[in-house]
Structures are given as structure tokens and as C-alpha cells.
Amino acid sequence: MRTAAALATLITALGLAATTPTPTRAQEFVGFDRTSFGSVVLRRNQAAGGGSDINFELAVGDYNNEPILNYSPNSVFSKMGLAVGRLDILTDTGVYPCTAFIVDKKHILTNHHCVPGILDNERAGATRIDSILFVAGYRQPGVDEGTRRYTVVPTPVETSKDLDYAVLEVIGDPSADFGTLDLAAITPQDNDPYWVIGHPMGEAQRISREKCRANAPALSNKQLLHTCDTLPGNSGSPVIDASLQKVVGLHHAGSNRDAVNYAIPMADILAQSSVLKAAVVPGAPDPVTPPPPAPGDEGSGKPLPPEDIAPELALCDALYAEAKEFDECFAYEAYLQVCGDHGYSILAKSYVARQCTVAETPEEPVPPVVDTRPDEPLLWWCTSPNLNTTERTICGDRYLAGLDEEMERAYKNPARPVSASEQQSWRINSRDRCGADPDCISRVVIERITYLKTPEKVVTPPPSHTFPMYVTGTDHLNVRSGPGTQYGVVNRIDFGDKVTVLNQSGGWNNVRLSNGQDGWVSNHYLASDKPRQRPVTQCTATVVNLNRYNSHTRRDGSGFLNIRTQASTRGRIVSETYLGDTLKVLNQSGNWAQVRCLSGQCRNPHRGSGGVTGWASKKYLSIRCQ
């Protein structure tokens, strides 16, 4: 009786007046500042737009894309969202976020127009991709806890411009912590209920499920049409069939002209992709067969007119929305009484079966199975009692352990000759200098993997003569794989070290190190005479390239320079300095300088403490040494 009463209450309370969503214009393509790369929160300082009909995203009607944090970690939405992450693409013009999702132990899937197609986008204006990160577990806005960053190989394993998909390789195994999504090669049916999970505008993960369904028709011109709301950053999001809980499409675009979004049918992608075929779970069911016609209509051969169907669909849509609002068994049971064949009924039946079935007799609690086996070490050598600080850090972190395994595979099958002594020298002089800093370890190991996988450059013609030179003018000098800062760092040498110059190109020298390794260094830091002792210099800096401090420049960030705990934007901010301030330079490392305030507003900063020592970007410093 309670169900019947609830049903009457729900129907009476509902207002079924039809409202037609007004299509909104597709949002602008969004870009973020390069300094945001590697951070959970992306800092936006640029955007581009265009007037074409096809755009990257579209919100259909009222924006119904909601934070996935609204649901418990045990909900089906949160569990499926684990395998979906943000794809941060670092280019020479900024960071452009898309969405990607995990399909197996080493591969993720996204759009071709994200990678490598960002280089073809005139609005982005990028000429190169410097790096890519897959950020998994970003659910709570601005909170880093629980997120993991995985380095992505920029060159796709598979890609298709026509089908707008790209399969990318991830260094490490994100599926071990975040799982995978199942793919289904089915034919989408009209009005099938969908979910779309992604990172619109680079924000924490969101889900579109309200009024989220296949269009009618579902397929047109080899595109899957859907009404799920998206925004820039949703490119590469999975379109999930709510009944099957499998990915049936890859979201990629929207139209300014029609209230619809576009996805690529997963069946078309799977027909072309050998990598993704291996990730498909066998036995995906066929689409649900449409219900038989009502009695008396079997022989008509004509569909019911729209005016006969629309009220029933509107009633069922509204009943389901109310049942979801109540989130109680009686509401879902009332909905099922009237709408047992409605598109969302499978979700309501699942809720009732899981939450509303009362057992006749309480079951005896099953004691948990306790695994008494000792934890397996992440790497075979982690059981050694003589590990140094860096090795202990690697053994305690699954991601770093995965990187180490990848590096060992590259070392066993290198693209260039590498001796055991050279590899040992790299471990001692490069990797182990990172100590317990995981960011430093991952950066150094990735650079080593890149070096081992890159064929050695042959200098033609060979140098007619060689000559020794010495490092001067800096404490440490990067050795790169080619003549320019765009090439990766393969080693580092110190003040006074001797090198043999093999060749020259512009402002760079091809040198051979004392361990036999070849590389390129800037000739600004080489001298023909060995320096006896580095002279003690006193350096000061004047803060430049900023605007005068006021409330406006405070808001846009152009009126102050951050002082950080380390020579990286990941360092914690401890103070600020301002235009015209004088600083003492204590040390220099790449594009950063370690400084302390001597005079000016930095003695009494608006943020942090005056007189502290920290690191500042040399882009905003004019340094003079005596």
C-alpha cells in the first residue's frame, strides 16, 4: 500500500509541462599557462575561440555536468570514474587539458585532436609537444591527495585522424591502482541512457548523466549522437552505456547549430585498432531488443504517433527523476510499477535488488580472509639490506618501481652502445643525487630512458682533430643529447671537469666525457685552460619585468614574484618580492636563483616572511656579479 500511495503522491506532485532546451554555443577551446604543468590546479592565462560549426565541446540546454564527488566512493559512478583521468599536454604555447581513460596495464585512450592533433590546431598555435602527464584520481577540487601522475609517451601507439582516437603508452601501470574501463563493440540504440565522465575545463572529475542519452537517431554519418553535457577538457571522455556499464563511444565534438554532441562509435574504433581489440572483454551483450508492440498494433506496421508516445515518456522521465531525488526504495518501486519498460528501469531494478531486498533470516557474518603471506617486494633487489636513500624511495613507490623496470628494459636492449661502468656512473652521479625526492628521481630516470631509447647521433664528417677543454663559470653543467636546450639531459659535469671537444655546432660543443660518454654542452661554459680555483663572486639581483604592485596586479599575478623552497614551481611559496627590490644571489641553478632580500618592499612582503632564503625565477631578475 505504501508503494501505491507513494506513486499517487509522486504523480500528483509532478509538473509535466514540456520545456525545450535552448542550444548553447560551443565553449571556447581552453589553454593554461606552462607553469601549471605538473600541478593539480591549472592556472589559466590564455584561451582561443573560433566560429566554425564543429567545436570541441558543447553544453546541451541547462548544464547538468556535476562533480563526481557528490557520490560515495562505493557508488558505480565513482568506481567507473577511477579509470578516467585528465591528460595534460605541455606545448610551447601552454598546457591544454583533455580527458583519457585506462584500457589496459600500459595504454590509455583519448582523441587524436588532443595528441598529436593539438599541433594542427590553429587556435592553440603550438609547434611542439614537450611532455604529457596522465593525472589520475583528481576528484576533489584543488586537493592533491589521492592523485597520481603518470608520464605518457608523446608518440601514439595507434592513432587515426578520421576516427579521432589515439592510443597512448603510459610509463608505469595505472590500472594497478585505478582499474580499467571495458569496451563494447555494439550498435547504439536510440535514447539509450548514457554517462559521460571527464575533466571539463581541467577541473576535478565530473559526470554527465541527467538527460544524458543517445539521440534519436543515435547514429548519423558514422557519428554517435548524444545529449550529454560537456565542456572544453571533456575531449577523450568515455561515453558509457548505463545498462551495460561499458564504453560504447569516444566523445570528441559538438555542434553550434544543433543541440547534440558527437562521439565516435567504439565499434568503429575496435574494428581498426589491434591494441584495443586485445582489451575488449569477451561476451559483451547485444543491444536490448525493442519491446513488442502493444496488443492490437501488431499488424499496423506503423509507429505510434508522437502525441501518443510523448506524455508517457515525459511521465516516466519525471517519475525517475523524483525517485532519484527521494533515493528511497518506495520511490523506485513506484516508478517501476508504471515504467517497467522505460530506458532507466534497469538502473531502478538494480537499486531495488541491491538496497530493498530483505533476507528472511540473517546470515552468519563471513570472517574476512586474512592474507598472511609477506608482501612481495616491488623489485627483486628491494630485499637487499644495503639500499641507499634513493633505492629505498624507489622500492616504496609503485610508480617509481615501474619506471625503474622500464629503465632496466631499455638498458638491456639500448638503441646505442652503453657500458656497465657508464650505467653505474649514471646511478651514482645522477639518480642517487636525488636522495628521497620522488619528483627528481622520476625526472632523472625518464631522461635516462629517453637517452637509452634514442639512437646515437653519428657526426658526419668525423672531426679532423680533438682538443681538451674545462668546465668554468658554473658549478654544474648539463650534458644534452643534442645541440640545444630542447634535447634531453643525459649527464651532468662539474666545475673544473675535463672534456674532449669532438665537434662544434653554433654555440654548442660535441664533447666526450671522462667516462667515454658523448654529449653536447654550451660553449659559454668551456675554457681551454684549467681553472685553478673558482673565484668567490658576490652577486646581487634587481627585480625586473613586473608591474607596479596594486590591487589589480595582485589579482592578475603581474605585480609580484614568488620566492619558493626549491628551484621549481612545485616548491612551496615562502615569500614575495616586487619591482625594484634588491636581492642577494646565493646560488644559481638553471633558470632559478637562490636569493635573500637586501632592500625594498621584500623586507615586509604582502605574503610570507621577510628576510627568508628561497628560489626565484631568473626571468624576473637582473643579476650582476663582482
CA distance 44 to 28: 13
pLDDT at 238: 97
Residue 57: its pLDDT value, please? 45
Cell numbers describing residue 298: 501488431
Q: Residue 314 is which amino acid?
A: A
- 207-243 residue pLDDT tens: 998 889 999 899 988 899 998 888 888 899 999 999 8
Least confident stretch, 16-25, 102-111, 235-244: 16-25
Pair (88, 160) in one structural domain: yes
Higher pLDDT, 320 or 105: 105
Query: Is residue 207 assigned to a domain?
Result: yes
Which pLDDT value is given to residue 616?
Answer: 93
> Strands 84-91, 467-471: parallel, antiparallel or unpaired by DSSP?
unpaired
Per-residue model confidence (pLDDT) at position 44:
61
276, 292, 324 - which closes a domain: 276
Residue 296 placed within a domain: no
Helices (H), 227-341: 266-272, 274-277, 306-326, 329-338
- Mean pLDDT throughout 432-450? 84
Average pLDDT, the chain: 79
pLDDT of residue 307: 39
Q: Answer yes or no: is 55 within a domain.
A: yes
Q: Is residue 443 located within the same domain as residue 478? A: no
What are the cell numbers at 283? 561476451
318, part of any domain: yes
* Cα distance between residue 526 and residue 473, in whole Å: 8
Whole-prediction pTM: 0.47
Judgement on whether residues 250 and 124 belong to the same structural domain of the protein: yes
Element spanning 503, H or E: strand 498-505
Range of the domain at 311: 2-16+306-355
Element (H, E) at 445: helix 438-453
Count of domains forming the chain: 5
Shared domain check, 240 and 97: yes
Residues 258 and 339 occupy one common structural domain: no
Same domain, 104 and 251: yes
Q: Do residues 326 and 474 both lie within one domain? A: no
CATH code of the domain in which 181 resides: 2.40.10.120
User: Which among 496, 527, 558 is the end of a domain?
Assistant: 527
Say how many C-beta atoms besides its own lie within 10 A of residue 509's C-beta: 22
Given pLDDT bands bounded at 50, 70 and 90, which one contains residue 298? Answer: very low
Is residue 247 included in any domain, yes or no? yes
Residue 475 domain flag: yes
Helix pair angle (438-453, 398-412), 10° resolution? 20
Query: Are 39 and 125 members of one domain?
Result: yes
425 has a pLDDT exceeding 50: yes
Task: Return the minimum-mean-pLDDT range out of 194-208, 227-241, 324-338.
Answer: 324-338
Exposed/middle/buried for 387, CB within 10 Å: 0-12, 13-18, 19+? middle
Same domain assignment for residues 202 and 71: yes
Query: 619 near 545, Cβ under 8 Å?
Result: yes
Cell 625526492 belongs to which residue?
437
| Percent over 70 (pLDDT), the chain | 80
Q: Residue 465: phi, psi to the nearest 5?
A: -155, 160
The helix/strand/coil state of 453 is helix
C-alpha cell at position 22? 535552448
- pLDDT band at residue 255 using 50, 70 and 90 as cut-offs: low
pLDDT digits 0-9 by tens, 353-362? 777 755 444 4
Does the N-terminal peptide bond of residue 285 adopt cis geometry, omega within 30 degrees of 0? no
In a domain, residue 294? The reply is: no
**Same domain flag for 257 and 122:** yes
pLDDT tens-digit series, residues 491-536: 888 888 899 999 888 889 999 988 888 899 988 888 888 877 655 5
pLDDT score for 534:
58
Question: Residue 277 in contact with residue 270, Cβ under 8 Å?
Answer: yes
Q: For residues 109 and 144, which has the higher predicted lDDT (pLDDT)?
A: 109
Model confidence at 301: pLDDT above 70: no
Which of residues 237 and 127 earns the better pLDDT score? 237
> Domain of 594: which CATH number?
2.30.30.40
Q: Does residue 298 lie within any of the structural domains?
A: no
Residues 231 and 123 in one domain: yes
- Per-residue pLDDT tens digits for 37-76: 777 788 764 433 333 334 444 444 455 678 998 888 889 8
Statement to judge: residues 522 and 543 lie in one domain: no
Most confident listed range (175-179, 332-336, 529-533): 175-179
Which residue type does 592 have?
A: W
